[in-house]
Structure 1
Amino acid sequence: MDQYNESPTYNAGDIVYVFYRNPHTQDVANIQAAAVVNNPEEPNELALFLFETYYPLSNEMAIYSTEEKANQAYNYYYGDASEGLLK
């Protein structure tokens, strides 16, 4: 596992920060807040709710508990973190 990717336990209602790639411009990544919710398709599982879509949680996602940690990881992978912020 990568030094910047966390693996905490999440609970429904948590707000987390993820890297999101624009589906139309794959070379652009942003930091986006997302909600951890109960997965409507799998009642015993959690999902991320991002842009009106549910995404099952997996270890392959870069999920961070704070915007600061997401910015640090973004800077590590992509350069200046201020470019990744969505405000």
Structure 2
Amino acid sequence: MREAVFFDTLQHGLWVAVVMSIPILSAALVAGVIVGLLQALTSVQEMTLTFVPKLGAIVVVFWMTMNFMTQTLVTYFQGSIVPQIIGG
């Protein structure tokens, strides 16, 4: 395998990972900011209060975007990885 093909495949794989992680990371960010603002407004400093809403938001967004993530990964493998394996 030539270096250019290897690096192009690696770059495409990293981009797919970024695209797949954006929904989950965005949900965690939004939930964290909202809970942080609520904690600052109410002066409640409970550690589990920050963890549980973030986890809930992550689970909900993961469940909602699971089809998108699966299709993205399958498309990447069928378009990039499998042809390289078959082609030798």
Q: TM-score, normalised by structure 2?
A: 0.24
Bigger radius of gyration: 2
> Which structure features the higher share of strand residues?
1
TM, length-normalised to structure 1: 0.24
